[in-house]
Amino acid sequence: MNNKSEISKRLYVSDISCAGCVETIEAALKSVPGVDEVQVNFADRTVNVSGDVPADTLIQAISKSGYTASIMEDNTESERENKDLAHYKKLLKKTVISGIISLVIVAVTMLGLLPDVASFRGQISWGIVSLLTLFVLTYAGGRFFTGALKSFKNHNANMDTLIAIGTGVAWVYSTFVVLFPDSVSEIARHVYFDTATLIITFINLGSALEMRARGKTSEAIKRLIGLQPKTARVLREGSEVDIPIEQVQMDDIVRVRPGEKIPVDGELTEGSSHVDESMLTGEPVPVTKKVGDEVVGGSVNKSGSFLFKATRIGKDTALSQIIDMVRKAQNTKPEIGRLADKVSAIFVPIVLIIAVLTMLAWFNFGPPPQLTYMLVTTMAVLIIACPCALGLATPISVMVGVGKAAEYGVLIRKGDALQKAGQLTIVVLDKTGTITEGKPVVTAIEPSEGWSENELLKIASSVETNSEHPLAEAVVEASKEKNIELISIESFEAVSGHGVRALYQQKTVLLGNRKLMNDNGVNLGSLIESSEKLSKLGQTVIFVSVNGEAVGLLGISDPIKTDSKEAIQRLQKSGIKVVMLTGDNRATAETVASLVGVDDFIAEVLPQDKAHEITKLQELGEKVAMVGDGINDAPALAGSDVGFAIGTGTDVAIESADITLMRGSLHGVADAITISKATLRNIKENLVGAFGYNSLAIPIAAGILFPFTGLLLNPIIAGAAMALSSVTVVTNANRLRWFKP
């Protein structure tokens, strides 16, 4: 693959085994000219690279650092899973074989079945045990020695280094005792073949269990990939043909029958149905679809048969974008995990220093036999230290947390959003389309004296047909219902945050709020009283004037979403203050605010001033989220600590947002915050566990309790503890899979 591309490339590195590997690979890739950003995910052994660099160059850079990489595409996900499964089975086989040999060695050692090592027969017998141990070290533990050698060549050290040195020293010393027993004092004439083999067995067993548990953390991605059908039924030359989904082209007409999955995104052209979009949006109620409506690839057709025109295919479909966003979010490192990364980077060198100090201390100050005590404690220190638990603590929880959020239609797009969402103190809600349905309708038409309703609506609709504002659409729709014929406008100008100005039959027409009328000297007279009544009912009022004379007003109502009040109460119960932000007048805003129960509201805010209101709250020390549609609210979303954009249908990649809500409900905000808090709590548990384990285990392994208890930690137990520590971290992260916000 030599083609260059600005989009990020995804690589799979099968032999990432510890946090040190992550640092090495990151350093290798960042040294490649043209690489802008590198994200290595220890949890699933994938690497995301952004920059204009050919994939072959990236793979070569990783190869030079001692690792094996391959490019990943969507269709290689199952291939990777098959490789992981094969690796798991291979590791399990090695564990079983090494375990059987280890039990034999333990039996002959503990039961004293072999002659003394100082005798000729003993040397022969123990020599065979040495060869069996060497077989275990090379067959079952070979990856640790090759990994250690790679690290040495790259001038660093990792977990493989610790295991290789610990077990290698045990075998070398024990073999030396067997070959040259007279060179060692009788009191120190011990062999540690059983220790070396059991350590390898326990660590491999832990790795196998960890792999099995780790595979479960990516089930959210697997489910998303599984939503896409393999084939599509398209119309070609008048007949229906089943083709692979990769061969679907833009504008193809696709047939979907009841019970089938919709293969790609499109627009319904014939028929109608109810479609289950719950796997994408978390919304359990099937959505009615009719001609002209969008359908989303991966959703399920529940009832009627229909035809649709493909409008997005391949990587442009909403499902593909969701999968890509979830993967990228899973690969990011929240701030809380960066301390662990810094510690992991220096962890192994520190352990090696502690091991050397332990060795020197026991050799110089320990009781006889000093050599035996020195070997036991040094091996225990090297083996018990676990950088893996530290390295896994954050990414494994992030993977599960991001996947869990996706199950509820919450797409976390940017790295720190997962952490920041759990620290919010204020959530600011835009009114239109966020608290309300965003589907306004004209509910009141009040013309001034001398004007009829139809005349007023004709002027307003003829002007508003040039605007894309949701309120304008409501006005135009009202004229269509009354079959009012519109006439062309000679000029049109939008007045941001206030309304519009137009030239209509050589007359100046203004449509907008009270401020627009006041600024242009329009006397509203009795319309003011009418507008206040409508505002108290929660309606938005649009005044209409012609050549400076008020000719009437329109009342527009936007229904409040049925679950907005309940979702707002959920946020408040979790200790978050909820504020409504709107460009509407104060009376309308006050009515809506009281109906949904927000803590406060800010009215009559121009679109360009919304970001300033967010900044004012932040200056008070608040952690602020903004929830909006991602278009008119883009600056406010970008300026907030966490920006939530409500995406609908195929519109999921809203650039200004940190988090996209696939369904329109505000429950998505509450879900995101709850999942974020649970994920943060899980990360902290993992970090405390990993730091605590290493902080306690290493001093105990070094023999700190020996002066008080006379006990030393057996290196075999150290190996089992090390293996268990990583498994514990992964298992704890997997608890999030059953979490319900």
The 10s digit of each residue's pLDDT in 544-595 is 999 999 999 999 988 999 999 999 999 999 999 999 998 888 888 899 999 9
How sure is the predictor about 460, in pLDDT bands with cuts at 50, 70 and 90? Answer: very high
Residues in the chain: 741
pLDDT tens for 193-222 read: 999 999 999 999 988 888 887 777 677 777
The answer, yes or no, to whether residue 407 has pLDDT greater than 90, is no
How sure is the predictor about 174, in pLDDT bands with cuts at 50, 70 and 90? Answer: very high
CATH code linked to domain 408-436+560-674: 3.40.50.1000
pLDDT of residue 651: 59
pLDDT of residue 2: 39
| Of residues 120 and 7, more confidently modeled | 120
> Max alpha carbon distance in the chain (Å)?
124
Token duo for residue 456: 């007023």
pLDDT of residue 459: 92
The answer, yes or no, to whether residue 596 has pLDDT greater than 70, is yes
Token duo for residue 69: 């990489």
User: What is the CB neighbour count within 10 angstroms for residue 73?
Assistant: 11
pLDDT of residue 224: 79
Alpha carbon of residue 215 to chain centroid: 16
Highest mean pLDDT among 128-142, 529-543, 702-716: 128-142
Quickly count helices (H) and strands (E) in the chain. 25, 26
pLDDT of residue 536: 87
pLDDT of residue 3: 41
Residue 237 makes CB contacts below 8 A (sequence gap 6+) with none
Residue showing tokens 């945050």 = 497
Question: Residue type at 198?
Answer: L
User: What amino acid positions are annotated as catalytic residues?
Assistant: 430
pLDDT of residue 145: 93
The region of weakest confidence among 3-17, 154-168, 503-517, 659-673 is 3-17
357: three-class secondary structure by DSSP: helix
How sure is the predictor about 24, in pLDDT bands with cuts at 50, 70 and 90? Answer: confident
CATH code linked to domain 229-262+265-312: 2.70.150.10
How sure is the predictor about 261, in pLDDT bands with cuts at 50, 70 and 90? Answer: very high
Residue showing tokens 């003011």 = 528
* Average pLDDT of the residues in 320-325: 83
561: three-class secondary structure by DSSP: coil
Architecture of domain 9-72: 2-Layer Sandwich (3.30)
Report how far apart the first and last C-alpha atoms of the chain are (Å, whole number).
Answer: 43
Let me know if domain 441-557 sits in CATH 3.40.1110.10: yes
pLDDT tens for 608-663 read: 788 899 999 999 999 999 998 756 677 888 889 999 988 765 455 566 788 988 88
Q: 344 near 23, Cβ under 8 Å? A: yes
288: three-class secondary structure by DSSP: strand
Average pLDDT, the chain: 87
pLDDT tens for 262-295 read: 999 999 999 999 998 877 776 677 889 999 999 9
How sure is the predictor about 433, in pLDDT bands with cuts at 50, 70 and 90? Answer: confident
Q: How far apart are CA 605 and CA 619, in angstroms?
A: 18
Helices (H), ranges, 646-666: none
Q: How far apart are CA 652 and CA 720, in angstroms?
A: 46
The answer, yes or no, to whether residue 729 has pLDDT greater than 70, is yes
Question: Dihedrals φ, ψ of 558, to 5°?
Answer: -120, 105
Residues facing residue 436 across a β-bridge: 560
Question: Dihedrals φ, ψ of 499, to 5°?
Answer: 155, -145
Domains of the chain, residue spans: 9-72, 82-217+335-398+682-738, 229-262+265-312, 408-436+560-674, 441-557
pLDDT tens for 68-87 read: 888 876 555 666 777 778 88
Q: 318 near 652, Cβ under 8 Å? A: yes
Residue 603 makes CB contacts below 8 A (sequence gap 6+) with 582, 583, 584, 585, 586, 588, 589, 590
Token duo for residue 132: 């069996």
What ranges make up the beta strands (E) of 162-317?
Answer: 231-236, 239-244, 253-256, 265-271, 273-276, 287-289, 294-295, 300-301, 306-312
User: pTM for the full model?
Assistant: 0.81
Q: How far apart are CA 671 and CA 679, in angstroms?
A: 12
Q: Is 37 exposed, middle or buried (0-12, 13-18, 19+ CB in 10 A)?
A: exposed
Question: Dihedrals φ, ψ of 539, to 5°?
Answer: -90, 150
pLDDT of residue 5: 42
The answer, yes or no, to whether residue 54 has pLDDT greater than 70, is yes
pLDDT of residue 4: 40
The answer, yes or no, to whether residue 228 has pLDDT greater than 70, is yes
Label residues 427-452 b or e (16+ Cβ within 10 Å = b).
bbbbbbbbbbbbebbbbbbbbbeebe
The answer, yes or no, to whether residue 678 has pLDDT greater than 90, is yes
